[in-house]
């Protein structure tokens, strides 16, 4: 329901804050709508865990860049490591948010929420991989 006194941005912000509160209150999440078929909830959980594995891989990649490219320009190495570490953190938080939004949609009988995040993450990982290829090539070529 949209309040006529709210701007669209303010409504989205309020919705985001409400979603964050649900992260820490599973009993409130269960109070929403009807319990979906457990298979859908388990599939949602498997997707969440896949996103967490991706987040952990990004964090591990950040540490690997920092440890295994010591001869690389320190500013480049630091930027690459911090980008991977930050990407892992963003991916983990986004996974949690998406899990809650999907669970709410299933309980309410609504369409599942769409997200641009997989596309953004895929493109970012591709770009980071190309940068890593460049860093490794410079290191081995020099």
Residue 136 lies in a domain: yes
What average pLDDT does the segment 36-57 reach? 95
Domain count, the chain: 1
Residue 55 lies in a domain: yes
Q: How far apart are CA 130 and CA 126, in angstroms?
A: 6
* Residue 40 domain boundaries: 32-141
Q: What percentage of the chain reaches a pLDDT higher than 90?
A: 49
Residue 106 lies in a domain: yes
Range with lowest mean pLDDT among 12-16, 31-35, 69-73, 88-92: 69-73
Give phi and psi for 116, each to the nearest 5. Answer: -90, -10
- The whole-model pTM stands at 0.78
């Amino acid at each position: 329901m949209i309040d006529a006194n709210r701007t669209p941005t303010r409504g989205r912000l309020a919705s985001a804050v409400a979603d964050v509160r649900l992260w820490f209150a599973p009993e409130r999440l269960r109070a929403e709508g009807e319990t979906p078929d457990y298979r859908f909830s388990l599939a949602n959980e498997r997707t969440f865990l896949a996103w967490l594995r991706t987040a952990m891989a990004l964090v591990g990649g950040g540490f690997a860049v920092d440890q295994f490219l010591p001869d690389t320009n320190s500013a480049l190495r630091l930027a690459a490591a911090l980008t991977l570490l930050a990407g892992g953190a963003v991916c983990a938080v986004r996974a949690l948010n998406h899990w809650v939004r999907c669970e709410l949609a299933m309980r309410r009988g609504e369409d599942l929420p769409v997200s641009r995040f997989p596309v953004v993450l895929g493109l970012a990982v591709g770009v980071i991989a190309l940068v890593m290829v460049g860093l490794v090539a410079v290191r081995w070529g020099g």
